[in-house]
Amino acid sequence: MASAASANVQDAMTNAGITGTGQTDGLFEDLTNVVYLLMGVGGIWAVAFVVIGGMLLAGSSGNPQKRGQGIAALATASAGIFVIYKAYDIAGWATGIAN
């Protein structure tokens, strides 16, 4: 079913005069480098939020509102670290849909 839909799209593009002329040899490597860059920047960002959350939690001095902010910052940073850890798998899944 999917190959028939793909053939219909190719036929429609050919009938419209659209031809494939681009080179995609280095596209995967470029996308991989972008994912690695985003993982590095996100990792630095997540570590910064772990530090900020820890400082908020340590400096709360029994204030429940500041304690909640610190715990929320640590929880958000933890979720972010998990997403960054799985970013390569997520990118692979997203590019697998296009194939």
Q: Which two tokens stand for residue 85?
A: 């850890």
> Residues 64-89: pLDDT tens digits?
999 999 999 999 999 999 998 888 78
Give dist(CA 46, CA 2) in Å, integer.
Answer: 40
Give me the helix-helix angle, 27-58 and 87-98, nearest 10°. Answer: 140
**What pTM was estimated for this model as a whole?**
0.61
Give dist(CA 89, CA 86) in Å, integer.
Answer: 5
- Inform me whether the pLDDT recorded for 3 exceeds 60: no
Give dist(CA 41, CA 59) in Å, integer.
Answer: 27
